[in-house]
């Protein structure tokens, strides 16, 4: 995470996400998958091909791509289908767009009810016998049972969670880095899924994105750094107020 | 020339000229700002490289001088609520924290009998100029104890003139031992964990001995805490100085 300043002098915290060897692996049509839209399987980071069976490696062989650590699906409309094997770059997103980021949260292991669900516990003194971090009552008398989904101690973390509506401030095309506003679930150097935001407030912000994606061998030559309009770039002189 | 004895005076050879090679001396002293050194952790070095590029960019626009904890600085920032939109603050640097772009330094001064501390971010775009009025080091890395010292040690004139010094001189270490206000203090500065050498403790011997109970003499031998930054510093120093010369 890094600080970033706007032209008015305000500071925002920003997470850096690196797009590391992403390739499209397979196209699954609407009828095959049984959903409402067709799907594209996309693979992430490159890893060694030696520790998996031949059947698992079939998808990668078909696409002609080294084995990936993570394979995710994206629901795509029919006009945004990409040929399997095309690499995906950070320039797929542009500064000013809004993005949802999904990742597995940091695993905290088996945790008690105060850390896991934020219960208040009991006082430290004034006669409390062996009860300081316990849940207390778990149900009422009339119910005569414990409801399903009752908040109780258990394994916390290591599940997929999404943060919605994160602004993209800056894109580095040379190293494929996306600067995303705020914090993102997961530990440092964990694998993360970045999608266009589904929030209705940001429907109009994703105007004119590179569609269906940014092709490196195309005609467009982008500068090394793409900045949002409001960002203070370090080449400019210091901020002054009129 | 005949001396008083009548014999000719013994030939005295002229004193050998002492050649001070100023260029060599300048190269020997290298200063790398502490926020360039990456902290120990599992982050990708690419992140530090990119942060360093941004920091060097900012240093090309604004001159961030070399300074240490204990030097007196004057900082002008852009202030939307001031009359001429600038704000100048003079103070002694008591702490330098943070790594990378978020590096900060705290300046302390006593204005009209009120102690004031301001924390500035080194790479904030609102900072317009940083001048070093007096460049010196103190015996400690962290001068937070000035809050509990007598106010005379933290007062500095707002219209102080910069103290001139030659380029090749070594940075003077001010071995001042500060006198404190009576206890209670904000922190127990006599305890060995703060390792403060710049206070003249006027506490009874019994209290000083009692404070030594909290000493942790094994800490300096703990191998897991070792972080040797010499090679990293050399690499980063070469990178930064090359980029800044361009």
Summarize pLDDT for A219-237 with one digit per residue, the tens.
Answer: 778 888 999 999 999 998 8
What would the mean pLDDT of B132-159 be, rounded to a whole number? 93
Does B5 score more than 70 pLDDT? no
Per-residue pLDDT tens for A114-152?
999 999 999 999 988 899 999 999 999 999 999 999 999
Q: Which residue of A has its CA nearest to B127?
A: A238
Give the pLDDT score at A31: 87
Which residue range(s) make up the domain with B73? 45-53+62-174
Mean per-residue pLDDT of chain B: 90
Q: What pLDDT sits at residue B130? A: 94
Q: What is the pTM of this model?
A: 0.86
Q: What is the mean pLDDT of residues B135-146?
A: 92
- Residue-level pLDDT at A154: 95
Assigned token pair, A163: 């943060």
Interface contact A237-B61, CB threshold 8 A: yes
Per-residue pLDDT of B172-222, as tens digits, reads: 999 999 999 998 999 999 999 999 999 998 999 999 999 999 999 999 999
Query: How many angstroms separate the CA atoms of A100 and A192, rounded?
Result: 10
Quote the pLDDT of residue A105.
Answer: 96
Paired tokens of A193: 């899924």
Q: What is the pLDDT of residue B242?
A: 92
State how far the Cα of B116 lies from the Cα of B10, in Å rounded to an integer. 68
Residue B110 has what pLDDT? 95
pLDDT band at B89 (very low <50, low <70, confident <90, very high): very high
Query: pLDDT at position A4, please?
Result: 94
pLDDT of residue A208: 72
Q: Are B191 and B214 in contact (CB under 8 A)?
A: yes
B131, part of any domain = yes
The predicted structure's pLDDT at residue A204: 83
The answer to whether residues B203 and B190 touch, using CB atoms and an 8 Å cutoff, is: yes
A137 contacts chain B (CB < 8 A): no
Q: ipTM of the predicted structure?
A: 0.89
What's the rounded Cα separation, in Å, for the pair B54 and B48?
Answer: 10
Q: How far apart are the first and last CA of chain A?
A: 31
Q: Do A241 and B78 touch (CB under 8 A)?
A: yes
Q: Strand pairing of A225-227 and A192-196?
A: unpaired
Bridge pairing between strands A109-111 and A154-156: antiparallel
Q: Which residues of A touch B46 (CB under 8 A)?
A: 18, 175
Min Cα distance B193 → chain A (Å) is 30
Residue A55 touches partner B, C-beta closer than 8 Å: no
Whether residue B120 lies inside any domain: the answer is yes
Instruction: Dump pLDDT digits (tens) for B16-43.
Output: 888 777 766 656 678 899 999 999 989 9
Taking 70 as the threshold, does the pLDDT of residue B81 lie above it? yes
Give how far the C-alpha of residue B162 lies from the chain's centroid of Cα atoms, to the nearest Å: 16
- For the segment A85-122, what is each residue's pLDDT rounded down to a tens digit? 999 999 899 899 999 999 999 999 999 999 999 999 99
> What's the rounded mean pLDDT across residues B139-164?
92
Confidence of residue B4 (pLDDT cuts 50, 70, 90): low
- Cα Rg, chain B, nearest whole Å: 24
Q: What stretch of H or E contains B61?
A: helix B45-61
Q: Is residue B212 part of a domain?
A: no
- Interface residue A236 vs chain B (CB under 8 A): yes
**Structural domains counted in chain B:** 1
Q: What is the pLDDT of residue B150?
A: 93
Q: Which residue has the higher pLDDT, A72 or B168?
A: A72
pLDDT reported for residue A11: 94
State mean pLDDT over B219-231. 92
Residue B8 has pLDDT above 80, yes or no: no
Q: How many CB atoms lie within 10 A of CB A8?
A: 12
Average pLDDT, chain A: 90
Nearest CA in chain A to B44: A189
Q: Residue A135: its pLDDT value, please?
A: 93
| CATH number of residue B92's parent domain | 2.30.30.790
Taking the C-alpha atoms of residue A165 and residue A133, their distance in angstroms, rounded to an integer, is: 35
In chain A, domain spans: 108-156
State the average pLDDT over residues A198-221.
81
Residue B190 within a domain:
no
Asked whether the predicted pLDDT for residue B151 surpasses 60, the reply is yes
| Banded pLDDT at B3 (limits 50, 70, 90) | low
Indicate the range of A186-190, B6-10, B47-51 predicted with least confidence: B6-10
Q: Is residue B140 a part of any domain in this protein?
A: yes
Chain A residues near residue B40 by CB distance under 8 angstroms: none
- Measured between CB atoms, which of A5, A188, A234 is closest to B61? A234
């Amino acid at each position: 995470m890094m600080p970033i300043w706007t032209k008015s002098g305000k500071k925002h915290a920003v997470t850096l996400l690196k797009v590391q060897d992403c390739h499209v692996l397979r196209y699954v049509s609407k009828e095959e998958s049984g959903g409402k839209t067709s799907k594209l399987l996309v693979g992430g980071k490159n890893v060694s091909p030696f520790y998996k069976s031949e059947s698992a490696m079939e998808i990668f062989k078909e696409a002609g791509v080294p084995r990936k650590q993570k394979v995710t699906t994206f629901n795509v409309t029919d006009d945004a289908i990409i040929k399997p094997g095309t690499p995906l770059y950070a320039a797929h997103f542009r500064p000013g767009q809004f993005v949802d980021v999904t990742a597995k949260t940091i695993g905290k292991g088996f945790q008690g009810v105060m850390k896991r669900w934020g219960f208040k516990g009991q006082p430290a003194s004034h006669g409390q016998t062996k009860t300081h971090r316990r849940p207390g009552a778990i149900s009422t008398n009339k119910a005569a049972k414990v409801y399903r989904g009752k908040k109780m101690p258990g394994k916390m973390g290591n599940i997929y969670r999404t943060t919605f509506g994160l602004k993209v401030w800056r894109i580095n095309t040379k190293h494929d880095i996306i600067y995303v506003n705020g914090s993102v679930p997961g530990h440092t150097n964990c694998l993360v899924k970045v999608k266009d935001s589904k929030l209705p407030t940001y429907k109009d912000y994703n105007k004119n994105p590179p569609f269906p994606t940014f092709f490196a061998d195309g005609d467009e030559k982008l500068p090394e750094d793409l900045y949002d309009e409001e960002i203070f770039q370090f080449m400019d002189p210091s901020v002054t107020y009129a | 020339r005949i001396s008083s004895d009548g014999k000719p005076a013994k030939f005295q050879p002229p004193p050998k000229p002492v050649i001070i090679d100023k260029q060599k001396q300048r190269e020997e002293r290298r200063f790398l700002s502490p926020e360039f050194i990456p902290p120990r952790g599992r982050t990708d070095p690419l992140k530090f490289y990119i942060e360093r590029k941004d920091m060097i960019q900012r240093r090309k626009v604004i001159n961030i001088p070399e300074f240490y904890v204990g030097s007196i600085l004057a900082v002008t920032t852009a202030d939307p609520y001031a009359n001429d939109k600038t704000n100048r603050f003079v103070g002694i640097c008591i702490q330098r924290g943070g790594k990378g772009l978020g590096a900060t330094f705290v300046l302390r001064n006593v204005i009209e009998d009120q102690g004031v501390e301001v924390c500035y971010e080194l790479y904030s775009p609102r900072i317009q100029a940083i001048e070093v009025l007096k460049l010196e080091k103190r015996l400690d890395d962290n001068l937070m104890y000035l809050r509990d010292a007598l106010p005379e040690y933290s007062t500095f004139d707002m219209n102080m003139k910069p103290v001139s010094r030659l380029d090749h001189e070594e940075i003077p270490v001010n071995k001042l031992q500060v006198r404190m206000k009576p206890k209670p203090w904000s922190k127990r500065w006599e305890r060995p964990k703060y390792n403060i050498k710049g206070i003249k403790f006027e506490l009874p011997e019994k209290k000083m001995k009692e404070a030594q109970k909290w000493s942790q003499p094994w800490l300096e031998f703990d191998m897991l805490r070792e972080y040797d930054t010499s090679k990293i510093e050399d690499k980063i120093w070469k990178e930064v100085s090359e980029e800044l010369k361009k």
